[in-house]
Structure 1
Amino acid sequence: MTEDFVKTPQVQTLLNQASGLLSEGGDKRLKDITRDLVEAIMTTIVKHDVTQDEFWSAIKFFQEAGPEFGLIVPGVGLEHFLDLVLDARDAEAGQTGGTPRTIEGPLYVAGAPLVEGDVNLTDDPDDTDTLYMTGQITGPDQEPVKDAILHVWHANSKGFYSYFDPTGEQTPFNNRRRIKIGSDGRYAFHSRMPNGYSVPPEGPTDRLMKALGRHGNRPAHVHFFVEAPGYRQLTTQINFGDDPFAGDDFAFATREGLLPVPNRQGESAYIAFDFELQRAKAAGDEGFSARARAEA
């Protein structure tokens, strides 16, 4: 059997019926996308001679994956692919420059405390070095961005995030803040040094990575949202350039320009990192994507 089987009238009619193209009502765009997705799955089944056992094992895997979908999506490259698509669309529109975007990941929590000044992110004791991070938020002409909000979140020294810590030991919003930036665009915060992490051992993501001959490790990193009136919202993160997984991040978040190497001095580490925002061309550019996010 060849892939042409999917193009036979019987299968094409099935696709049209299953996606609702032969029915009144519904969302036309959703129908078209559903049809193409299902056809791609059918083509894959034929191309690789997928057996019933393999198909239903895959369905079982996705049923069990549940809470780990947020790890599987970046792990198979889809979240990074969305960044590449957005980059390409920007290039086609002539909108270039600014700090590179990169994946958000699944561990943001809305509603972190809104604070000002030289901010301490860490509420809980953590026996590790102190991270100091400073920089400036500017626009495309290097103008200081006024009234910006810098969202920051990262793991603790065990690689666990507050609200997602399996030990249950972290207090709410540990290592999470929204920083209100002054008129000079400058920010400063300190925290206890984060560590990289691996996906949950023996969980769905770990099993998939091992089946693919890959690992599920991330380097130490810090996540950011940057929002300001008149500018495009930026989703990005820095990976520590001296981490052994900096060039082999299972989630594909490493991008050129986002790999600062901490200046380590005794029990402290220092990172200077500036953010450059693009100007918003439409009101929607200032907002966040419709991704579902955890709330406290």
Structure 2
Amino acid sequence: MSTKVFDTNEVQELLKAAVNLEGENGNLRFKAILHRLLSDLFKAIDDLDITPDEVWAGINYLNVLGQQGEAALLAAGLGLEKYLDIRMDAADRNAGINGGTPRTIEGPLYLAGAPVRDGVSKIDIDPDPDAGPLVIHGTVTGPDGKPVANAVVECWHANSKGFYSHFDPTGSQSQFNLRGAVRTGADGKYEFRTLMPVGYGCPPQGPTQQLLNAVDRHGNRPGHVHFFVTTPNFRKLTTQFNIEGDPLIWDDFAYATREELIPPVVEKAGGAALGLKADGYKDIKFDIALTALVHGKDNQVVNRNRASAAK
């Protein structure tokens, strides 16, 4: 269909009516956003001559995406979450905020409620014969380079099968396996004793992978470890590091890799004395530098739906 109708008065009035754009009540910010997004969709239908069959295929896809709980996974895979980071990086530069550990995406697999321990936490609750021991440690500092006390460092990662506890389709992991939180002391130090993770892939029959297949993309991530770092005195940090040497580091379907977030993996001995499963273990030092509040406020807190442990 070569006929264009988007710019007609009929369509423009329809768009206004659909979101009650000229009404005095309702959420004005939401109406403006919805009007823009709906307008862009209508114009794309016009410009690309998207057929009714294609429109309804898209609507049906969104139904399945929601039923499978994969919307946040798709947001990462299509670069939406990365785009938000790019915008926040640009906002920091414009505000003259420099330094600090780089942010990167949160991903969809955080679980609130992990137990908080002082200084050190051993988070490998369940045995995993295919994963070797790993110690992750570092120091949390502020913009002045001094250690930050009472920062809560949260950590979560996958097991050797690429599954996260709480979301594991096999149901074989304890609720907070490979998840934990540490409160730093006066020295700003934190430590997690755990097992080496691997990357994960999107559910192969799920709607996210279905979309990626249609554009000839894989849905895999390199091995990585997620972090939240929270303290009342500095901005919250959401980040993760990749496991050095993973072949997918620069081919991450979620676009989370940053050069500064690939710390060295060091071989060490003495794991038995630390309560690890073997004496030889991998060691990753990951120091964390926080940034100052903006006019006394933390503008890095993102409100989104997150899983939480059952009470």
TM-score, with length taken from structure 2: 0.91
Aligned to 1:191: 194
Please point out which of 208, 216, 220 is paired with 1:213.
216
Structure 1 SS opposite 2:194? strand
Aligned residue pair count: 296
Aligned to 1:85: 87
For the 8 Å contact 1:230–1:286, the answer to whether it is kept is no
Question: Within the alignment, does 1:162 sit opposite 2:165 as a pair?
Answer: yes
For the 8 Å contact 2:76–2:254, the answer to whether it is kept is yes
Structure 1 SS opposite 2:6? helix
For the structure 1 residues 3 and 137, does the alpha-carbon distance in structure 2 shift closer, same or farther, using more than 3 Å as the test?
Answer: farther
Aligned to 2:63: 63
Question: Within the alignment, does 1:99 sit opposite 2:112 as a pair?
Answer: no
Question: Within the alignment, does 1:290 sit opposite 2:303 as a pair?
Answer: yes
Matches within 5 A, 1:115-154: 115-127=117-129, 128-154=131-157
CA apart distance, 1:92: 1.3
For the 8 Å contact 1:134–1:187, the answer to whether it is kept is yes
Where structure 1 has 5 or more consecutive residues not aligned to the other structure, the ranges are: none
CA apart distance, 1:151: 0.6
Question: Within the alignment, does 1:202 sit opposite 2:205 as a pair?
Answer: yes
CA apart distance, 1:7: 2.2
Residue by residue over 1:76-102, the C-alpha shift from the partner in whole angstroms, topping out at 9 and shown as x without a partner, is 000000000111111111112111111
Distance of 1:290 and 1:91 partners within structure 2: 23
Distance of 1:256 and 1:136 partners within structure 2: 20
Aligned to 1:108: 110
CA apart distance, 1:70: 1.4
For the 8 Å contact 1:229–1:286, the answer to whether it is kept is no
CA apart distance, 1:263: 2.1
Residue by residue over 1:88-134, the C-alpha shift from the partner in whole angstroms, topping out at 9 and shown as x without a partner, is 11111111211111110111111100112332111000112111111
Aligned to 2:45: 45
Aligned to 1:246: 249
For the 8 Å contact 1:17–1:23, the answer to whether it is kept is no
Structure 2 SS opposite 1:257? helix
Please point out which of 280, 289, 298 is paired with 1:276.
289
CA apart distance, 1:22: 2.7
Distance of 2:8 and 2:267 partners within structure 1: 64
Moved more, 261-270 or 248-257: 261-270
Residue by residue over 1:52-78, the C-alpha shift from the partner in whole angstroms, topping out at 9 and shown as x without a partner, is 111111111110012011110000000
Aligned to 1:19: 19
Distance of 2:107 and 2:55 partners within structure 1: 28
Distance of 2:134 and 2:124 partners within structure 1: 10
For the 8 Å contact 2:264–2:285, the answer to whether it is kept is no
| Structural RMSD (CA) | 1.6
For the structure 1 residues 3 and 246, does the alpha-carbon distance in structure 2 shift closer, same or farther, using more than 3 Å as the test?
Answer: farther
For the 8 Å contact 2:72–2:107, the answer to whether it is kept is yes
CA apart distance, 1:265: 5.5
For the structure 1 residues 268 and 73, does the alpha-carbon distance in structure 2 shift closer, same or farther, using more than 3 Å as the test?
Answer: same
